[in-house]
Amino acid sequence: MDRRQTIPKELRYTRNQFDREFPTDDACLEQVKEQRFPGGVAVCHKCEAPRKHYRVRGRTAYACDRCGNHIFPLAGTIFEKSSTSLRIWFQAMYLMGSTRCGISAKQIQRETGVTYKTAWRMFKQIRSLMSENVRLGGSESGAGGVEVDEAYFGGRRKSASGRMLRGDINKTAVIGLVERKGCVAARVTRDVKAETVLPIIKECILPESTVFTDEFPIYNSVPRMDGMGYEHRRINHDQKIYVMGDVHTNTIEGFWSLVKRGIGGVYHAVSTKYLQSYLDEYSFRYNRRDSGNLIFPAMLARVSELASSRPSQ
Ligand SMILES: [Zn+2]
């Protein structure tokens, strides 16, 4: 089944649409400028007032209509120091945003014609756009509760979840937190001790939420965490009681298998160093799984959200 056919019209963003909207580097620059300084209006540091700015021909700059001082919309963004054409950056972002299960730097190289080294560098930068701090639980999408579970990545063990065994020191531990019908957060951690995991829970899950975990002792103090008021419900995996009413961790396990499949199929192997950014990429897509292929526009929006504030050089 081609799942793309099921995306409602308003949530589609096709390659043709992309080509029409962004035919040239100038069109891409204009987009970044509009996101950061709508209508070209920005505070001019010389005039010390908001002024309208006009494009400076042949440069990635816009000039103040009164004093001519330049602003640079790309300053502080992932594009700033790159010699790669802006349109190729946009193309790579489009490709990364329109896949469901990930894309390799090799594919970006093939589709855009840049060198592998450049593709890899762009890939890393684009992925940095996909790191976000979500807070889970609470009364809206998280009302069904939040599941928390650990997983281990790397090495040769068969199963994604389960406890780290003695001799598993080459594995990387990850804590996942997911709303039953909402968003996910996944963090690489140095270990799975309570003093490491509990602060992550506190940071990611809103007070008064229901938290589902298994019987692992690190979760013992979840119901007694300061000021959090969590309701804690547990499932006993060892006794093979996987689903007991709504007490289960199937949602987070589903997310783990998605990531594992992607890493196995697309990236082949992921070193610990890059694991967090892969998790960010998967989470970003997972958290927008109902937005059809509007993920590219969401990534574009992140470019300006993450840009450092000072526009001038
Ligand atoms: Zn000025």
Residues 154 and 259 in one domain: yes
Q: Ligand 1 mean position to 38 CA, how many Å?
A: 17
**Whether residue 163 is found in the same domain as residue 81:** no
10 belongs to a structural domain:
yes
| pLDDT tens, the chain, 313 aa long | 444 456 777 777 888 999 999 999 999 999 999 999 999 999 999 999 999 999 999 999 999 999 999 999 999 999 998 999 999 999 999 998 887 767 888 899 999 999 999 999 999 899 999 998 899 998 777 778 999 999 888 755 444 455 555 445 567 889 999 998 889 999 999 889 999 999 999 999 999 999 999 888 999 999 998 889 999 998 876 655 555 666 677 888 889 888 888 777 655 566 777 889 889 998 998 998 887 778 898 999 999 998 875 444 4
Residue 107 lies in a domain: yes
Same domain, 123 and 205: no
User: In terms of pTM, does the model score above 0.85?
Assistant: no
Residues 32 and 162 in one domain: no
Does residue 199 share a domain with residue 77?
A: no
Number of domains present in the structure of the chain: 2
Report the largest interatomic distance among the alpha carbons of the chain, rounded to a whole angstrom.
75
Does residue 51 contact residue 42 with C-beta atoms inside 8 Å? yes
Expressed in angstroms and rounded, the spacing between residue 65 Cα and the centre of ligand 1 is 7
| Residue 123 sits in the same domain as residue 94 | yes
Phi, psi dihedral angles at 173 (to 5 degrees): -85, 140
Could you tell me if 118 and 242 lie in one domain?
no
Q: Are residues 78 and 11 in the same domain?
A: yes
Both 107 and 199 in one domain: the answer is: no
Does residue 313 lie in a domain region? no
CATH number of the domain to which 235 belongs: 3.30.420.10
- Say how many Å lie between the CA of residue 305 and the centre of ligand 1: 24
Say how many Å lie between the CA of residue 46 and the centre of ligand 1. Answer: 5
- 116 and 177 in a single domain? The answer is no
Three-state SS for 43?
A: strand
Rounded to whole angstroms, the Cα distance separating 220 from 165 reads: 20
Phi, psi angles (nearest 5°) of residue 298: -65, -35
260 domain-assigned: yes
User: Could you tell me the residue range of the domain that residue 23 belongs to?
Assistant: 3-132+291-305
**Are 280 and 164 in a shared domain?**
yes
Separation between Cα atoms, residue 221 and residue 249, nearest integer Å: 18
* Residues 300 and 244 both lie in one domain: no
